[in-house]
Amino acid sequence: MTRRDLLASAAALACGVSTQRGYATLKNQVKPKSVAAVISIYEPGTHADVLIGKILEGWKQDGGPGPALKLSSLYVDQVSDRDLSRRMAEKYSIPVFDTIEKTVTVGGDQIPVDAVISIGEHGDYPFNEKGQQLYPRRRFFKEITDTFRKYQRVVPVFNDKHPGPVWNDAKWMYDRAREMKIPFMAGSSLPLTYRKPEIKVPPGSEIEAAVGIGYSGLDIYGIHALESFQCLVERRRGAETGVKWVQYLEGDAMWAVLDQGIVSQSLFDAALAEVPKVREGDVRKDPDAGLFLFQYNDGFMGAVFMLQSVNRTSVALKLKGQPQPLATQFEERTEPAHPHFAYLLKAIERMFHTGQPSYPVERTLLTSGILDRTLNSRFQGGKKLQTPELAIHYQPVDYPHAPLPDLSSNPSLPLPE
């Protein structure tokens, strides 16, 4: 920034004029990367609000420090009477376009932006027979990447939550990104959130068993539970080579896996102890409970219990040589401004500055496949399904979670050891 820029920013703030990205740029001396946003719906409390709102108004969405990103253009698929996009666009002088191509090109004949963020979450979209809400993530990605081809320039893309949500769409998105050499990242905010209590699971750990607990809808929150589970079990020695089979169980069949020792009762109890309850009594009487059961190609067993008697996500692990389980809750703090999304945005910011995903998109592809195939099993009455398509290999990375990395850190520099 020039001295003139510094004086102009200071004058704007002193006069109460709203400016996006000013504080982060002043602190880090990092030139902001320009971002085009493609969004399903932008209402209070939506993912667009807690991600794009942080680009515009800072990590706490209070006008304070924020990421070294600048929103350059906006496409919103559905506009309701609770819409924020028009008000925010007017406040920050952001052009809103009626097509994705115009958004990526900012209405011109080239691609001037440094990156694209795609948020296909929330909104009025249909459900299929498996209970998956058919968010337009593939359509968004296709139109974004068609624009890359037309104008012969590729920039990094982040897809909020899992690609798909149907497996064929998820795999198509992944394959297109690889074919076009697009830096591509996707996923949930929960692997980046605060953990309560903090547990140490170094890469290469000898993890003997694991149990996860999730809550709410099987599709919309199942991916949160699976990604929370996967971000820990991928740290086991020799991981990751994918999943061999999946099965959905409910009723007596799901609890039988505990009684028969297929899944550890002590690990289930440890995971359950970390999440708050919304119903009293025996958890086995939860009429809407279900189990995602799956086996990895290395023989490791995955078990994620989706319970309606709790309202948070947790994972418990058994490490070799440690008599007691390690268990933690993946927190969902609401203040300030849903901070787990700030740490997700920090990972996105880093990719947009370096051109390299902060962690492998294959983790999200794998969890997307597990979820889709498990919902298929449920639709087929709990049939065990072989999943050769989920033989997904990747090398995990030791990327930190809240309260690290420092939100004010330079996103173009390597993370400290």
Q: What is the pLDDT of residue 16?
A: 34
Mean pLDDT of 13-29: 46
**Residue 370 resides in a domain:** no
**Residue 180 resides in a domain:** yes
Spatial distance between the Cα atoms of 389 and 71, rounded to a whole number of angstroms? 37
Whether residues 176 and 199 share a domain: the answer is no
Confidence band of 28 (pLDDT split at 50, 70, 90): low
- For 180: left if phi > 0, alpha if psi spans -120 to 50, otherwise beta; the answer is alpha
pLDDT above 60 (res 22) = no
Percentage with pLDDT > 70 across the chain: 93
**Residue 416 resides in a domain:** no
29 burial class (0-12, 13-18, 19+ CB within 10 angstroms)? exposed
**Residue 177 resides in a domain:** yes
* C-alpha radius of gyration, the chain, whole number: 22
Total tally of structural domains belonging to the chain:
2
The CA angle 279-193-76, to the nearest 5 degrees, is 95
**Residue 238 resides in a domain:** yes
Q: What is the pLDDT of residue 20?
A: 66
- Encode pLDDT of 374-390 as tens digits: 999 999 999 999 999 99
Whether residues 164 and 217 share a domain: the answer is no
**Residue 78 resides in a domain:** yes
Confidence band of 14 (pLDDT split at 50, 70, 90): very low
Whether residues 209 and 145 share a domain: the answer is no
Whether residues 171 and 207 share a domain: the answer is no
Whether residues 82 and 208 share a domain: the answer is no
- Encode pLDDT of 124-179 as tens digits: 999 999 999 999 999 999 999 999 999 999 999 999 999 999 999 999 999 999 99
Whether residues 222 and 132 share a domain: the answer is no
The domain that holds 315 is classified in CATH as 3.30.360
pLDDT above 60 (res 397) = yes
The phi, psi pair for 155, rounded to 5°, reads -130, 160
**Residue 97 resides in a domain:** yes
Confidence band of 29 (pLDDT split at 50, 70, 90): confident
Choose the final residue of a domain: 189, 217, 237. Answer: 189
Q: Count Cα neighbours of 350 within 13 Å in the Cβ-side half-sphere.
A: 22
Residue (of 190, 192, 182, 260) closest to 222 by Cα position: 190
Contact 128, 166 (CB under 8 A): yes
Q: What is the pLDDT of residue 4?
A: 35
Mean pLDDT of 200-225: 97
**Model pTM score:** 0.93
Confidence band of 19 (pLDDT split at 50, 70, 90): low
Whether residues 173 and 201 share a domain: the answer is no
Whether residues 66 and 173 share a domain: the answer is yes
Most confident of 18-22, 28-32, 358-362: 358-362
**Residue 286's CB: how many other CB atoms inside 10 A?**
17
DSSP 97-124: -SSHHHHHHTTSSS---SEEEEE--SSS
Choose the final residue of a domain: 189, 217, 247. Answer: 189
**Residue 352 resides in a domain:** no
Percentage with pLDDT > 90 across the chain: 91
- Encode pLDDT of 110-119 as tens digits: 999 999 999 9
pLDDT above 60 (res 305) = yes
Whether residues 173 and 53 share a domain: the answer is yes
pLDDT above 70 (res 64) = yes
164 burial class (0-12, 13-18, 19+ CB within 10 angstroms)? buried
- Encode pLDDT of 243-302 as tens digits: 999 999 999 999 999 999 999 999 999 999 999 999 888 999 999 999 999 999 999 999
Q: What is the pLDDT of residue 115?
A: 98
The CA angle 180-390-315, to the nearest 5 degrees, is 110
Q: Which two tokens stand for residue 335?
A: 């203040």
Contact 68, 90 (CB under 8 A): no
Contact 256, 201 (CB under 8 A): no
Containing domain of residue 172, as a range? Answer: 33-189
Strand 326-330 relative to strand 195-196: parallel, antiparallel, unpaired? Answer: antiparallel
Whether residues 148 and 46 share a domain: the answer is yes
Whether residues 183 and 227 share a domain: the answer is no
Q: What is the pLDDT of residue 259?
A: 97
Choose the final residue of a domain: 164, 189, 214. Answer: 189
pLDDT above 70 (res 3) = no
Whether residues 290 and 185 share a domain: the answer is no
Mean pLDDT of 86-100: 97
13 burial class (0-12, 13-18, 19+ CB within 10 angstroms)? middle
Spatial distance between the Cα atoms of 3 and 8, rounded to a whole number of angstroms? 9
The domain that holds 84 is classified in CATH as 3.40.50.720
